[in-house]
Homo-oligomer: A and B are copies of this chain.
Amino acid sequence: MSSARPFCPVYASIELLQEKWSLHIVRALLDGPLGFNELGRAVGANTTTLAQRLERLEDVGVLTRTVHSAMPPRTSYALTPSGLALEDVLHAIERWGRAHLPASADSAPTPTRARTRGEAAP
């Protein structure tokens, strides 16, 4: 097995996906493109971090930013094929979460859409 590798794609992927909100962002975008604030509300992130994360995700080619009109501001963020491929990861996480997380309740009809962010006490 290679030991002295200067670049490990797995390590790098983890580092990327582990940044706060990146997975949430991808998840939200799997349902279709969204605008900036729209996205922010969907995942529950603040605008500052969101902008940072979006820039990074665009950088690595996970999503694209499309400006429809400068003023009035109208932008939309959409996943690239690369970002779409992250669906597998999200799916694996989803499966795991449903199977192995505190089974406090599962009768929620609307699991998605995290409006109010919050630290849910289990």
Contact = CB atoms under 8 A, between A and B. Distances in A.
Contacts of A61: 100, 102
7 contacts: A9-B101, A9-B103, A10-B27, A11-B114, A12-B101, A14-B23, A92-B92
B14 A93 contact: yes
A118 interface: yes
A32 interface: no
| Number of copies of this chain that the complex holds | 2
A110 to B, nearest CB: 7
A48 interface: no
A18 B17 contact: yes
Nearest to A8: B111
